[in-house]
């Protein structure tokens, strides 16, 4: 059962069709263009050009020190939903919903299946990720302005 208290969610309206936004999200090489955390350095060279369900992709990251992380796409509905998870178990999800004037984009940090929930709490990851998601959504709005 999903605990809604363990899903951090932020939304905004982006003045672009859902498919255009989805195309950006489905290309791991473009994630750094909107990353609000500042941690994404680049996609690894073997990352697929376009994500699909069960696709894996590696990212070069930096939070204090550089590291690499591999993600697996765990939810994929063309033009509507894309989500990925890494070894830590938590999920990053984007839901897209057409609205008047564009698309409602909801980004979620879902830590229901995290393997280290206590560590996430101690590091205040849910609160920090909420701030990063707000910045990511601002970047997305600017990208399509």
pLDDT reported for residue 1: 67
The two structure tokens encoding residue 67: 């590291």
* pLDDT > 90 fraction of the chain, expressed in percent and rounded: 94
pLDDT of 4 higher than 90: no
* Overall domain count for the chain: 1
Kindly state the average pLDDT of the residues 31-55. 95
Q: What is the CATH number of the domain that holds 28?
A: 3.30.530.20
CA distance 145 to 143: 6
In a domain, 74, yes or no: yes
- Half-sphere CA count of 69, side-chain side, radius 13 A: 20
pLDDT of 15 higher than 80: yes
Kindly state the average pLDDT of the residues 61-83. 96
pLDDT reported for residue 103: 98
Kindly state the average pLDDT of the residues 130-144. 97
Strands 56-63 and 65-77: antiparallel
3-state class of 94 per DSSP? strand
In a domain, 63, yes or no: yes
- In terms of residue numbers, what domain contains 23? 6-143
* H or E segment to which residue 105 belongs: strand 102-110
pLDDT of 145 higher than 70: yes
Kindly state the average pLDDT of the residues 98-107. 96
Per-residue model confidence as pLDDT tens digits over 58-71: 999 999 999 999 99
CA distance 74 to 90: 11
């Amino acid at each position: 059962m999903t605990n809604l208290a363990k899903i951090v969610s932020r939304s905004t309206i982006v003045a672009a069709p859902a498919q255009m936004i989805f195309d950006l999200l489905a290309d791991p090489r473009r994630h750094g263009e909107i990353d609000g955390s500042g941690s994404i350095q680049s996609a690894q060279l073997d990352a697929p050009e376009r994500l699909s369900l069960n696709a894996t992709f590696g990212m070069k990251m930096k939070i204090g020190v550089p590291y690499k992380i591999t993600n697996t796409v765990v939810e994929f509905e063309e033009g509507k939903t894309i989500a990925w998870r890494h070894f830590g178990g938590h999920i990053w999800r984007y839901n897209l919903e057409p609205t008047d004037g564009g698309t409602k984009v909801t980004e979620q940090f879902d830590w229901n299946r995290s393997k280290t929930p206590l560590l996430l709490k101690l590091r205040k990851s849910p609160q920090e990720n909420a701030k990063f998601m707000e910045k990511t959504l601002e970047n997305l709005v600017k990208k399509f302005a």
